[in-house]
Amino acid sequence: MRIEELRNSFIEYFRQNSHAQITGAPLIPENDPTVLFTTAGMHPLVPYLMGEKHPSGKRLCNWQKCVRTGDIDEVGDSQHLTFFEMLGNWSLGDYFKEEAVRMSHEFLTSKNWLSLDGEKLFFTVFEGDADCPRDEETAGIWKECGVREDHILFLPKKDNWWGPAGKTGPCGPDTEMFYDTLLPKCSTHCSPGCPCGKYVEIWNDVFMQFNKTPDKKFELLKVKNVDTGMGLERTAAVLNGYSSVYETEKYVPLLRVIEDISGKKYGINTEETRAMRIITDHMRSAFFIIGDELGVKPSNLDQGYIVRRLVRRAMRYSMMIGIEKGLGEMLADLIIETNPVYEELGRKKEFIVEALTEEEQRFRHCLNKGMTEFSRIIPNIQKGGNDKIPGRIAFRLYDTYGFPLEMTEELAREKGFGVDVEGFEKAYKKHQEISRAGSEVRFKGGLADASEQTKKLHTATHLLHEALRKVLGKHVAQKGSNITPERLRFDFSHPKPMTEEEVKKVEKIVNEAIEENFDVVEEMMSVEEAKEKGAVALFTDKYSEKVKVYSIGGFSKEVCGGPHVEKTGELGKFKILKEQSSSSGVRRIKAVLE
Ligand code: SER
């Protein structure tokens, strides 16, 4: 079964089971300061899992493009990917364990659907602890579906609980579905959950009934939800009997080109195979991030920094196998052709290729010199009896040769050395205003927080957006939004810095709207109606019947998932702290409510 067939099959199955298909969200999250990228299909749905009403109803399904940066170093093995797609179905307070498990089982095993061999499927459920009892119920449902007892395992929280790691938000016990590749066990303890690759996790049903509070308590949510995620590439691989996701049709054409250009063969030499996997994964990821609806170019900041790391790491590995040619241009058409459902890639091709080429040119002439410099450093450190590259040297590699810290760490590791990261950061902070540490913490996962203060800042963001359109013109469009309980950050299209006068004017308009104490009203309507009524939106929704529109008095109207405060009078005084450049043609405002 081809990947596109699997995608359609999944959607078809859940539509037949009364789920509305909704559009996936952009890779760069809006209004969620806790992560740099959308990491799962549930991510954009957090407000609804927390109890907001979803315009498309209580049963939803979709596919979602995801980026996970926590595993970049694992990429190169057979299963880990930075960019991947997730198929998902959701119950927002509708069905719970019984129906979720039965549907998963039917879709996986029925002759009409995936028809996977039950003998090769294994299921794990939560073994229970002080927060939540042992999930006998789910185990019982699997058994009723015909699963043998020795194919069901009880595992602890670290395996069978899904939610924002260490953060607040919706979470709960899950049941995970594994496919046995029939590879030999890596040890006598090898069983589903073992990362060796024998058992591939293909699907996860999360029973989201808790909210993890900031003081680490698990409180019951208003309603019980189900959040599932099936790995599209992994499932396609097991359906076809492939031992790796790289054998699917999303990767094979890219690998062929890399083989042609490098003259090396995939699958022969371990190091070269690993290099080829890294190049394809990283370049696809960079392509999707730059080409996202809210895409960003390589930079030293947040998502831009991740793209920079990916491209530069891909370049280093391409050099290792003898490729000198630009990777972006070389792979662009293939990436577009192999991803027909993401029309934004084709639309933004020129922009993406230009950004990649610029980045490759910027780095190319440094890379060789930097590698020479690096090989000089190592013997010196050895002589000094040190086992770590000092921070100031790692910083010099970064500053002069453009080596992302992680690349230096990786090069050092290959030689059996470490890097003094603290020293690097000290040197970095001295030279730059923004530290990498800030961003690093953020992409470890986590969820939008819906505290009162965040809600207020979210409503203030709508006022700001409209005020900017009034003062600067209708070309102002949201390019990104990031809200923490302390401040809002809003990126928007505008070709030049704002004058002091314009900043003052915007501030004044927002504060007047606050003083008016407008009602914030939420309405559901069709995309068409929202457009007709002049609601501001990205209008990327293609499938959902209806969208949610928030109106603030007669002042602003915007398509948005919420949540918001009820009246603008609650906001306090709005103050712009900073207006600065974000990237070319995009300005950034940081503001607070006092
Ligand atoms: N959120 C869960 C996961 O990422 C299920 O969708 O696995």
In ligand 1, the atom with minimum distance to the C-alpha of 205 is 5
Kindly state if the Cβ of 206 falls inside 6 Å of ligand 1: yes
**CA distances (Å), origin 357, targets 67, 150, 250, 322, 470:** 22, 53, 22, 18, 37
Looking at residue 96, what is its pLDDT?
A: 98
CB atoms within 10 A of CB 421: 20
Contacts of 479 (CB under 8 A, 6+ apart): 294, 491, 492, 493, 582, 586
- Give the Å distance between the CA of 89 and the centre of ligand 1: 10
- Give the Å distance between the CA of 86 and the centre of ligand 1: 8
Kindly state if the Cβ of 204 falls inside 6 Å of ligand 1: yes
Q: Looking up tokens 């004017």, which residue turns up?
A: 505
Nearest Cα to 363, choosing from 332, 326, 390?
A: 326
Looking at residue 445, what is its pLDDT?
A: 26
**Type and span of the H or E element at 285:** helix 270-290
Contacts of 474 (CB under 8 A, 6+ apart): none
For ligand 1, atom 3, which residue shows the shortest CA distance? 229
Kindly state if the Cβ of 88 falls inside 6 Å of ligand 1: yes
Kindly state if the Cβ of 447 falls inside 6 Å of ligand 1: no
Compute the residue count for the chain.
Answer: 594
DSSP alpha helices (H): ranges in 443-562?
452-472, 500-515, 527-532
**Type and span of the H or E element at 121:** strand 121-126
Enter the tokens of residue 174.
Answer: 């899950």
Query: Which residues are registered as beta bridge partners of 482?
Result: 489
Kindly state if the Cβ of 226 falls inside 6 Å of ligand 1: no
In ligand 1, the atom with minimum distance to the C-alpha of 229 is 6
- Give the Å distance between the CA of 253 and the centre of ligand 1: 29
**Type and span of the H or E element at 5:** helix 3-16
- Give the Å distance between the CA of 335 and the centre of ligand 1: 25
Kindly state if the Cβ of 228 falls inside 6 Å of ligand 1: yes
Kindly state if the Cβ of 42 falls inside 6 Å of ligand 1: yes
Q: Could you list the mean pLDDT of each consecutive 10-residue stretch along the chain, which spans 594 residues?
A: 96 98 91 80 90 94 94 83 97 98 98 97 97 96 97 95 77 97 93 90 97 88 96 96 94 97 96 97 98 90 91 94 94 97 95 96 88 90 88 90 90 92 86 43 37 88 96 89 87 93 97 95 83 75 68 91 89 96 89 94
- Give the Å distance between the CA of 162 and the centre of ligand 1: 7
Kindly state if the Cβ of 174 falls inside 6 Å of ligand 1: no
Kindly state if the Cβ of 328 falls inside 6 Å of ligand 1: no
- Give the Å distance between the CA of 80 and the centre of ligand 1: 15
Q: In a mutational test of the pocket of ligand 1, which residue from 42, 65, 101 has the highest number of ligand atoms less than 8 Å from its CB?
A: 42
Enter the tokens of residue 575.
Answer: 């103050």
Are 553 and 519 spatial neighbours (Cβ–Cβ below 8 Å)?
yes
Give the dihedral sign, CA 271/274/279/282: negative
- Give the Å distance between the CA of 246 and the centre of ligand 1: 22
Distance from C-alpha of 522 to C-alpha of 456, rounded to nearest angstrom: 15
Q: 470: left (phi > 0), else alpha (psi -120 to 50), else beta?
A: alpha
Q: In a mutational test of the pocket of ligand 1, which residue from 227, 230, 232, 234 has the highest number of ligand atoms less than 8 Å from its CB?
A: 227
Contacts of 296 (CB under 8 A, 6+ apart): 28, 289, 290, 302, 303, 304, 307, 480, 583
- Helical pair 97-109 and 3-16, crossing angle rounded to 10 deg: 140
- Give the Å distance between the CA of 209 and the centre of ligand 1: 14
For ligand 1, atom 4, which residue shows the shortest CA distance? 40
For ligand 1, atom 6, which residue shows the shortest CA distance? 229
CB atoms within 10 A of CB 112: 9
Nearest Cα to 367, choosing from 397, 401, 414?
A: 401
- Give the Å distance between the CA of 558 and the centre of ligand 1: 29
Q: In a mutational test of the pocket of ligand 1, which residue from 62, 64, 160, 162 has the highest number of ligand atoms less than 8 Å from its CB?
A: 162
Q: What predicted TM-score, i.e. pTM, was given to this entire model?
A: 0.79
Kindly state if the Cβ of 370 falls inside 6 Å of ligand 1: no
| Cis peptide upstream of residue 340 (ω within 30 degrees of 0) | no
Kindly state if the Cβ of 173 falls inside 6 Å of ligand 1: no
Kindly state if the Cβ of 238 falls inside 6 Å of ligand 1: no
Kindly state if the Cβ of 229 falls inside 6 Å of ligand 1: yes
**Type and span of the H or E element at 413:** helix 405-414
**Type and span of the H or E element at 57:** none
- Give the Å distance between the CA of 338 and the centre of ligand 1: 25
In ligand 1, the atom with minimum distance to the C-alpha of 43 is 1
Enter the tokens of residue 244.
Answer: 């790796």
Distance from C-alpha of 230 to C-alpha of 283, rounded to nearest angstrom: 23
**Going along 503-573, which residue ranges are E strands?**
520-526, 546-552, 556-559
Q: In a mutational test of the pocket of ligand 1, which residue from 204, 210, 232 has the highest number of ligand atoms less than 8 Å from its CB?
A: 204
Kindly state if the Cβ of 41 falls inside 6 Å of ligand 1: yes
Q: In a mutational test of the pocket of ligand 1, which residue from 14, 90, 228 has the highest number of ligand atoms less than 8 Å from its CB?
A: 228
How does DSSP classify residue 184? Answer: P
How does DSSP classify residue 570? Answer: G
CB atoms within 10 A of CB 384: 9
- Give the Å distance between the CA of 43 and the centre of ligand 1: 9
Enter the tokens of residue 187.
Answer: 């040890």
- Give the Å distance between the CA of 42 and the centre of ligand 1: 7
Q: Looking up tokens 């991740």, which residue turns up?
A: 306
Q: Phi then psi for 587, rounded to 5 degrees? A: -105, 160
